[in-house]
Structure 1
Amino acid sequence: MRGVDLTWAGGEHTFLLGLDLLRALEVKCDAGPMHILQRLSSGQWYVDDIIETIRLGLEGGGLPKDAARNLVKRYIGHDEPLTSFVLLARTILMAALYGAEDDPPGESKAGENQSPTHSLAESGDGHASTSGAE
């Protein structure tokens, strides 16, 4: 499984939710990943659906736990409403459940580029927004 690279919080980060982190997300949010995705998509999300998806995705992408926790604390829950971060959380979770947007179904051939090219542009206030990625 590979992560998805997204621009957020002042730089490009890899987000990855493998099975172990999806299980941790289930525990934190008291729901399965598809239920969390449904809540994020329908506007019926819980606070931890957003925060924990982003934090665990950063950890899975290689950021140390303390650094991931600090980054999330610094950018989420201060000046911007939580709704500003729903798209980021949905993108991370969808990549874990469905694969990266540019990831063709089936197995990749040896030597193929394994680097996703997703991008969420960061506005000046630190939250993610969509951009003309790729």
Structure 2
Amino acid sequence: MSGDGSVTLPFADGEYRFRLAIGELRMLQQSVNVARIEAGEKPVGPRRLLEDMGAGSWWIDDARETIRLGLIGGGVEPAKAVRLVRQYADPPRLIRGSLVLARAILIASLIGEPDDPVEGNGSTEKATTEATMTASPSPISMPPAAPSAGQAET
């Protein structure tokens, strides 16, 4: 994987570079949400899509569109990406393989790999996938501090 969120993985007839930059992530979000909105469901963003894929509550086109747009973002011509997805990712192919590939593409784009350097403040740090995946966006709840000696309670 490289610092641009791309990842090279085996797919179809060889190895391909997959990348979901902001443009592809927007297209993915729009594409997978059309059916959800029509069905009266809440739309999802890329991070929620990744979580849903891991939890088993995904829609059939979620994996397909992630792979297609990842190929396009990785430099494959759109017509070839559609052809590859139709031939190698659409049923009757095993859906599980497409799901595993789609999750790997999303993880590379959104989180990175544990050993992927993350640039910041002029230094290089290691990205930690596990910490990122399990981190809660909610603030830590703590009980109020007890008043110190000499402070009046209110």
What's the TM-score, normalizing by structure 2? 0.65
Q: Which amino acid aligns with 1:59?
A: I
Counterparts in 2 of 1:16 and 1:35: CA distance versus 1, 3 Å: same
1:1-134 equivalence runs, <5 A: 1-30=4-33, 31-106=44-119
**SS of residue paired to 1:106:** strand
Q: For the residues of structure 2 that align with 1:22 and 1:47, how far apart are their CA atoms? A: 17
Offset at 1:83? 2.0
What's the TM-score, normalizing by structure 1? 0.74
Q: Note the alpha carbon deviations across 1:33-74, whole angstroms, 9 max, x for none.
A: 011001110011111210000000000000000000000001
Offset at 1:32? 0.3
Q: Which amino acid aligns with 2:21?
A: G
Q: What are structure 1's unaligned runs of at least 5 residues?
A: 110-134
**SS of residue paired to 2:118:** coil
Offset at 1:82? 1.4
| Structure index of larger Rg | 2
What is the RMSD computed on CA atoms of the aligned residues?
Answer: 1.6
Instruction: State whether residues 95 and 101 of structure 1, in contact with CA within 8 Å, keep that contact through their aligned partners in structure 2.
Output: no
Q: Which amino acid aligns with 2:75?
A: G
Q: For the residues of structure 2 that align with 1:32 and 1:50, how far apart are their CA atoms? A: 14
Stretches of 4+ aligned residues off by more than 4 angstroms: none
